[in-house]
């Protein structure tokens, strides 16, 4: 059984509804201290958390909400009361912790002292409800082993979190990647162990939701890439090539009366699409799903570009980085 003094849990959420109910229920018998951090919900999330018997921290509504800020507030709440858990499990409010995960992650940290962060396998609850959910599920299934970064569901050594300075409050997307980069630069290892960690509920059923999520990803590519120039290099290059350069070539060729230039640009999209299908098939995706996923991955470069431009505009104008929500 996991010791209460040894481990604390920080769950974060904003208007998660029944997803939060399920999240907190999955922690009910874990015998650890749980802090729920609410980011300005206007539903009954706070009442739900209190009814579940967990401690609640509410973020100041006058400041921009970010997942990074919420996780930092949860960590601070764990420490403020005098308790000093050696490890902290972070979990998003739209996820459920799988049985056995907390024990497995703690054991990995107990055993390998050079590990700073441990994560596991995340799966979608309703994978087949929509193509968008299916894409998320495939995105989560990455091989176990040494990794450079992971998502927000992670178990972290408390002193590693403190020495790294926690999450960067200003990062609105890929804040988990940015944190992991700093942990890795400090000499700590990050590992994904072959254990089911969480069930996630993306709840994406509309194209607009998928588009907004892709815009947010592009913002993350640009913001984290600006902070750590060696990170997201491939992602940013693909966005500029397929989201900006090729459309310019195609439109320019058509206007200039050079159809071979325009057709050449379109052919490059075709080649990229076919290569993406091939890559998805090698990773085990069925052919029908690979065809569909490849189409959305090709299209995603355009909302990614919008996200990157949004970040550049905000940065240039000195605007605060506001959340880009898709639910």
Classified as helix, coil or strand, 204 is coil
Domain boundary among 204, 235, 256: 204
Residue 172: inside a domain, yes or no? Answer: yes
- Shared domain for 29 and 114, answered yes or no, is yes
Burial 220-246 (b: 16+ CB within 10 A, else e): bbbbbbebeeebbeebbebbeebbeeb
* pTM greater than 0.75 (yes/no): yes
Residue 1: inside a domain, yes or no? Answer: no
Placement of tokens 């959420």 in the chain: 13
The number of domains in the chain is: 2
The pLDDT value recorded for residue 11 is 97
Instruction: Tell me the HSE value of 45 on the side-chain side, using a 13 A CA sphere.
Output: 23
Residues 6+ apart with CB under 8 A from 24: 11, 34, 36, 48, 49, 52, 54
- Shared domain for 67 and 200, answered yes or no, is yes
- Shared domain for 131 and 161, answered yes or no, is yes
The pLDDT value recorded for residue 319 is 81
Over its C-alpha atoms, the chain yields an Rg (Å, rounded) of 21
Residues 6+ apart with CB under 8 A from 230: none
Domain boundary among 204, 236, 257: 204
Closest by CA position to 217, among listed 201, 205, 235: 235
State the CATH number of the domain containing residue 177.
3.90.550.10
d(CA 240, CA 238): 5
- Shared domain for 165 and 215, answered yes or no, is no
The pLDDT value recorded for residue 215 is 97
- The alpha carbon of 324 is separated from its chain's Cα centroid by a whole number of angstroms, namely 13
Beta-bridge mates of residue 33: 8
- Shared domain for 220 and 257, answered yes or no, is yes
- Shared domain for 216 and 309, answered yes or no, is yes
Per-residue pLDDT in tens (0 to 9) along the chain, 327 residues? 445 558 999 999 999 989 999 999 999 988 899 999 999 999 999 999 999 999 999 999 988 899 999 999 999 999 886 678 999 999 999 999 999 999 999 999 999 999 999 999 999 999 999 999 999 999 998 999 999 999 999 999 999 999 999 999 999 999 999 999 999 999 999 999 999 999 999 999 999 999 999 999 999 999 999 999 999 999 999 999 999 999 999 999 999 999 999 999 999 999 999 999 999 999 999 999 999 999 999 999 999 999 999 999 999 988 888 888 887
Residue 322: inside a domain, yes or no? Answer: no
Instruction: Tell me the HSE value of 61 on the side-chain side, using a 13 A CA sphere.
Output: 5
Residue 110: inside a domain, yes or no? Answer: yes
Residue 325: inside a domain, yes or no? Answer: no
Q: How many CB atoms lie within 10 A of CB 72?
A: 23
What values do phi and psi take at 112, rounded to 5?
Answer: -115, 100
Per the CB < 8 A criterion, the answer to whether 219 and 235 are in contact is: no
Beta 189-200 vs 145-146: how paired, if at all? antiparallel
d(CA 27, CA 95): 11
DSSP 153-186: -EEEEHHHHHHHTS--TT--SSHHHHHHHHHHHT
- Shared domain for 132 and 191, answered yes or no, is yes
- Shared domain for 195 and 274, answered yes or no, is no
């Amino acid at each position: 059984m996991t010791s209460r003094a040894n481990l604390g849990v920080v769950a974060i959420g904003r208007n998660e509804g029944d997803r939060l109910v399920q999240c907190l229920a999955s922690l009910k018998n874990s015998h650890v201290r749980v802090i729920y951090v609410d980011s300005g919900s206007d539903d009954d999330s706070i009442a739900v958390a209190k009814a579940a018997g967990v401690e609640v921290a509410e973020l100041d509504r006058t400041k921009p909400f970010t997942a990074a800020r919420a996780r930092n507030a949860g960590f601070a709440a764990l420490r403020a009361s005098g308790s000093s858990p050696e490890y902290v499990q972070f979990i998003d409010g739209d996820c459920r912790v799988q049985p056995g995960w907390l024990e497995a992650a703690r054991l990995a940290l107990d055993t390998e002292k050079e590990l700073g962060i441990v994560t596991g396998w995340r799966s979608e609850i309703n994978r087949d409800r929509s193509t968008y959910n299916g894409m998320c599920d495939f995105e989560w299934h990455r091989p176990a082993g040494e990794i450079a970064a992971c998502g927000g569901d992670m178990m972290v050594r408390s002193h590693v979190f403190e020495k790294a300075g926690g999450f960067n409050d200003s990062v609105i997307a890929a804040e988990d990647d940015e944190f992991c980069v700093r942990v890795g630069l400090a000499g700590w290892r990050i590992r994904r162990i072959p254990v089911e960690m969480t069930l996630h509920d993306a709840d994406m059923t509309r194209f607009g939701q998928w588009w907004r999520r892709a815009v947010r990803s592009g913002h993350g590519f640009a913001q984290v890439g600006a902070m750590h120039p060696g990170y997201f290099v491939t992602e940013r290059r693909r966005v500029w090539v397929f989201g900006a350069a090729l459309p310019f070539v195609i439109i320019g060729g058509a206007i200039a009366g050079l159809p071979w230039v325009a057709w050449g640009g379109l052919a490059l999209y075709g080649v990229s699409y076919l290569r993406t299908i091939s890559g998805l098939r090698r990773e085990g995706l069925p052919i029908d799903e690979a065809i569909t996923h490849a189409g959305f991955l090709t299209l995603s470069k355009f909302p990614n570009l919008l996200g990157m431009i949004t970040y550049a505009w905000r940065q240039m104008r000195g605007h605060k980085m506001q959340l880009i929500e898709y639910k």
